[in-house]
Every structure is written in C-alpha cells, then in structure tokens.
Chain A
Amino acid sequence: MEKVLLDYDWTVMAPEIIIAAAAALLSLADLFLRENTDRRFFSWFSLAAVIAAIFFTVSRFGQQPYEILGDTYRVDDFALAFKTAVLSGVGLVFLLSAWGVRQEEIRFRGEYDYLLLAAALGAMIMTSSADLITLFVGLELLSISSYILAGIHRERYASNEAAWKYVVQGGVASAFILYGMSFVYGLTGSTNLYTIQQRLVEAYQTGYDAFVLLSLFLMLLGFGFKIASAPFHMWVPDVYQGAPTPVTSFLAVVSKTAAFALVLRIVLVGYIFLYQMQIWQQVVEPVLLVLAGLSMVIGNTAALHQTDTKRLLAYSSVAHAGYLLVPLSTLGAVLFESTFYYLIAYLVMTMGAFTVAALLEREAGHGNISGFAGLSRRSPGTAAAMTVFLLSLAGIPVTAGFFGKFYILMNALSTQHFWIAGIMVGTTVISYYYYFGIIRQMYFRPPASKDRMRVPMVPALLLVIGILGTVGLGVVPEWAVHWIGDLQWMSALTPLNAGPPGP
C-alpha cells in the first residue's frame, strides 16, 4: 500500500513547520505594516520561533529514528544533533540582528528576517534528509537566501560585490554538486541514499568504478566550496567582508555546520563501502587530506597580513574548515563526535568574535583591526571577552577551541595519520601570530579616543553566552563529550526499514 504524507506522523517535522510558518507570518506582517514602522521586533519574533523549534528538536532526543516518504525527511540522532547546533546558531544570529541590523541602514529590515528564516529552514532540511533531491533543495534554499542576505545592504558597494561573487561562484559549485549527483542517479537509478548505498557497491564491482569515483569527486568539488575550504575559498574573504556582520556570522557558523552535516551524510552513507574495499585509503583519503592541509596552510598564512577584522576571521574560517575536514578523511572511532564537538566550539567562539567585531564596527565606523586599539582601556569587559574568543580560536588550553583541536588531533593520531597532525600543529602555531596581533592591539596600543565604549544589553548578553560556551566547553568538556558520545550517530548510516522504498 502506497503511503502519502498524512499517513505518517508528520508532527516530527514540527521544527521545520514552525520556522516556515514564522517566515510566512512575517512576510504577511511586513505587507500590512507601514513603511516606516520599526521592524526590529521581527527579529525577536523570529528568535521566539527558533527557540520553539529548538525545544521540539531537543525533546525528540532519545526516541527511535523516523522517516517520512522514503527518507525524503528523516529524524535520527545525527539529524537532531546537527539541527540543534544549526538552530542555536540561527538564534544567536537573530539576537545579534535584533541589535545590529538597523532599519536606517538596511531598508529591507522585514525581508532580512524572513530571508534569514528561509535560510535556516534550508539548513535544517540539509541536516535531516537522506534523499538527494531534498538535500539539494535544502542546500539551494540556504544558498539563494544567503546570496540575497549578503547583498541586502544595497547602498554599500562592498555588499553588492559580495553578493555578486557569492552568487556566481556558488552557482558553479551547485552545478558541480548536481553533475556529481546526476552520475549517482545514473548509476543507481535512485535518489534515496540507502538505496544508493547498496547499488553503488554493485556498480563499483561491475566495472563502473571510474564513474563512482567521478561522481564522488565532482560532488566534493562543490562541497569544498560550500564548507569554504581551500582551494575553493576565493569567495570567502570578499563575501565575509562585504556582507553585513550578522549575515557574515550566519555564513560562518550556520552555513558551515549545515554543509558539514550534508557532506558527512552523503559521503559516509553513499561511499563508505570504499573504505571496506581499501579504495578510500588509497584514493579518497589523500585527496581529502590534501584539501584539509591546503585549507590550514592557506587560511592561516593568508590571515597573517590582513588588516580587516572580518577578512581575518574569514581566512581563519578557511583554516577551521581544514581542521574540520581531518576527521572526515581519516575516519576513525570518534569521527562524528570530534567533528560535532569542534563545530559547537567553533559556533560559540566565532559568534562571540563577530559580536565584538560588530560592536567595534558600529563604534569606529570601519572594520579595520586598528579599531581594537586600546580597547582594554575603553571597555575592559569587551576586551577580556575578545581575548577569550581569540585564545579559543587559536586553541590555547582551557578553552573550547583547545579541546576541539585536541579531540581531532587524537582521532588523527589514533588512525596513524602523523603528517596531517603535524601540519595541524604547525599551522596552529602560525595562527597564534595573527590572533595575538589583535590582543596586542587591545592591550598595548593607545586608544583613538579616551571615552569609554558603551556595550548595550543585547551584545553584552551575546558576549556572556559566548564566554560561558567557550570557557564551559573548555573547562568541563566531559559533559559535552558524554552527551555527544551517548548519541546514536551510526543510526544515520543504516536504513530504517529492510526494503528500500521504490525507485
């Protein structure tokens, strides 16, 4: 008996439905409000919707995995964990937007909020589906909304340039992903990842091995762009610098997390058989490790001579994409755990750093690193918070970033990958130079003006959340590690029902 959507327990989609409904409501409200009404409460409304979605996501932990309509929608622990991370990131971005996005500057204040919700919806779908069509639609929903958000500050030339570069290069990346997916469909006749899992093995063994690898590498080409790894990182500095700061933090935190969820699911479910056949170790792993190594080296060395804060953080984001690629390429026992832990650590510390960047940008009127000069005298609290975030980004002990790196390093060492571990340690040391450069500015340079900097409530709250997360995850990592370790990550790799559901 063929089942339709309403035969399923569709209430498991509550988080997505809440976000979609909130976006629809806001777009209607935007129509009926006067043009000059302050729309800042939209961000608070969206934040409430995100919190409700987090509640429904978290309340499903510990239950059996569930799928709807042949895995076009799927909830398992992998999906829930990544969705929680994505939603937390989106929530923090809304908090930052509620303060940092002004209607005087960005005239499409209403559109800003519901496009951000649409992007969040795309990111959520990317975490919880096991069907290529749904995954790709989710990816495009996230990407297209991000292109618009990057260019939403129309009066600024840099914002226009960012949107333009992002849409062209993003379009090319999507084309590569789609081309790879079309080979997968051609080989297996299915878009369901678990059916693909079975049939790719057959295809590989019956002489189509070159096509299988071609499909994987075409997709990896596009994925490399989406997670901002070198050598596909050309767009990153310009887009991060040109986009409004809350949008930049969204791109750094949410897009990266969602893209990693997508990459892990497609590559591991579809191509894990290569590992058993020893092909992964010979072909795929070297390629991924070279990508990871290149990202670390290029990201960290290019960041050395940046003078713009957001540009510097952009290159640092490229480097972090490199660290994050290591577990995927080496696989190993704590592959999911170490990737996910690092993503959460990256989320809290990057959100904090971007909050400070946004504060200074508003205060100084420019995004240059010289804006940090003498911050310790003008606002000791902000300077201390930024120091914590930078130490964490650099990976100094008792911060979240340190333990995240340590976790990834342990995974790499336990699988006997010493040279990539060496590159990781070496580039981390290089990164100290530019992270400490900012700290030097804050503590040892004279400030441009003597008056104290006021930190409004909302950014202060964000800084507190950032510090609690960064220090908390660093001092007592075992809480998070326990929680992450208890999740059923492997449930993402196996189908729910014995039989694949149709073509």
Chain B
Amino acid sequence: MQWNGEFLAFFLLSVMAIGGAVFMIHFTRVVHMVLALAFTFLSIAGIYVLLHAEFVAAVQVLIYTGAVSILMLFGIMLTKHRTSDHSDSRSRHQLLSFVGVAAFFGVIMWVIYHTPFSGGKAETAKYTVANLGEWVFKQYVIPFELTSVLLLAALVGAVILAKKERDA
C-alpha cells in the first residue's frame, strides 16, 4: 500500500461515504437524514470516478445526488408528518440486529481477506459510453424493454398509492 494521491482520495471518499451512512441512521430529523444520504451518494460518485467509470459517476450525481435527494426533500416538505423520528428503543431488538449485522460484516470481511483479488488490472478504455449504449440497445434490448414496463408499473403504483381521494 503506497501513499499517493489516488489512495488519499479513495480514503477520504470512503470515510465520507461511510460517515454519511452512519449519520443517516443516527440523525433523528428526517431532513438531516436526507442530507446525510445525499452526502453518501456524492462520495460514491467520487469512488466511481476513481474507478474510471466516469459515465456511472455522472449518472450517480444526476440521479441519486440530484433527483432522488431533491425528490425526498420535496416529499418531506409537502407531506404532513412528524419531522423527527422518536423511535422507542427496544434494546433486545437492537442487540439482536447488531449481532446479526456484525456477523454478516465479519463473514464478508473474512472472505475478502481470505482470498484477496490478485493484482491484475482490467482494461477500462474499451468501456466507453458509446459501447455501453450499443450493448444496451443490441444485446440487452429485452431486459431494457422490460425495464420500461417495470417503470410504468412503478409509476402507476406510486400514483395509486399516493393519490389523494377527492371524497376521503
């Protein structure tokens, strides 16, 4: 492990991503949660840039950091509800969740350190946006079309479940 700019950037971005996630769980006000979440999304976009996946990074910023976060903020501001979340702390439940998550974390970490990926680097130059587009519309056109049905179903569902009744 050598200390260069890339490692420093990775270190900072990971700390920001994890920190944002931890704060998101810890905050009690919903608006703060969304901001912490946006912070995580942005840091993840930075990690994508480090991996030479600039297109994915741009999409991440546009959709997650931009659209999703803003939409959540709008949702919070336009709906009536308690702005802070007072969860009654059930300590036994929390302990169980903690044990479960810690065990899962342990297993994943053990696997990752047990068999480290060898050093070979993949050629990233051929994964251009143009190629990506060609793959999506040629090879993967069937799942692509299905995704459009999926989005339509999700849209209809969102309208059904959120629509305000006229006579309710």
Residues of A within 8 A of B (CB): 2, 4-5, 20, 23, 27, 68-70, 72-73, 108, 111, 114-115, 118-119, 121-122, 125, 129, 131, 133-134, 137-138, 140-141, 144-145, 147-148, 151-152, 154, 163, 207-211, 214, 502
Contact = CB atoms under 8 A, between A and B. Distances in A.
Interface in B116-168: 138-143, 146-147, 149-150, 152-154, 156-157, 160-161, 165
Interface stretch (B16-24, B40-48, B84-92, B107-115): B107-115
Contact of B147 (A73, A108, A137, A148): A137
B150 A111 contact: no
Most buried by A among B110, B140, B142: B142
A134 B149 contact: no
Contacts of A27: 152, 156
23 contacts: A4-B138, A4-B141, A5-B138, A20-B149, A68-B142, A69-B139, A69-B140, A72-B140, A108-B160, A111-B156, A114-B156, A118-B153, A121-B146, A122-B146, A134-B143, A137-B150, A145-B157, A148-B153, A152-B160, A207-B115, A209-B115, A214-B107, A502-B139
Contacts of A207: 115
Nearest to A134: B143
Contacts of A111: 156, 160
Contact of A145 (B115, B138, B153, B161): B153
A141 B139 contact: no
Chain B interface, >50% SS class: helix
A144 B157 contact: yes
A163 B161 contact: yes
Contacts of B152: 27, 118
Interface of A is mostly: helix
Contacts of B153: 115, 118-119, 141, 144-145, 148
Shortest beta-carbon contacts, A-B, top 3: A148-B157, A118-B153, A134-B143
Contacts of B111: 210-211, 214
Interface of B: 107-108, 110-111, 114-115, 138-143, 146-147, 149-150, 152-154, 156-157, 160-161, 165
Given A148-B156, A148-B160, A137 B143 contact: yes
Contact of A2 (B114, B138, B156, B160): B138
B146 A134 contact: yes
Nearest to A191: B140
A148 B162 CA distance: 11
B37 to A, nearest CB: 15
Most buried by B among A73, A137, A163: A137
Given A20-B149, A138-B146, A144-B154, A151 B161 contact: yes
Contacts of B160: 108, 111, 148, 152, 154
A251 B140 CA distance: 28
A2 B153 CA distance: 32
A115 B157 contact: yes
Given A111-B160, A147-B157, A214-B111, A118 B142 contact: no
Nearest to B108: A214
A144 B150 contact: yes
B143 A23 contact: no
Given A5-B138, A118-B149, A210-B115, 6 more contacts: A115-B157, A121-B149, A133-B140, A141-B150, A148-B153, A210-B111
Nearest to A118: B153
Contacts of B154: 144
Contacts of A119: 153
Contact of B143 (A2, A72, A121): A72
A134 B161 contact: no
A131 B107 CA distance: 28
Nearest to A106: B160
Which one of B110, B149, B153, B154 has the greatest number of beta carbons of chain A within 10 Å? B153
A210 B142 contact: no
B156 to A, nearest CB: 6
Given A115-B156, A148-B157, A5 B141 contact: yes
Given A148-B161, A211-B115, A134 B142 contact: yes
Contacts of B149: 20, 23, 118, 121, 141
A68 B140 CA distance: 10
A69 B141 CA distance: 8
A115 B154 CA distance: 9
A72 B142 contact: yes
A79 to B, nearest CB: 14
Contacts of B110: 210
Contact of B142 (A73, A152, A208, A214): A73
B83 to A, nearest CB: 20
Nearest to A13: B142
B146 A125 contact: yes
B146 A137 contact: yes
A108 B78 CA distance: 24
A152 B147 CA distance: 22
Nearest to A30: B156
A68 B142 CA distance: 9
A502 B154 CA distance: 32
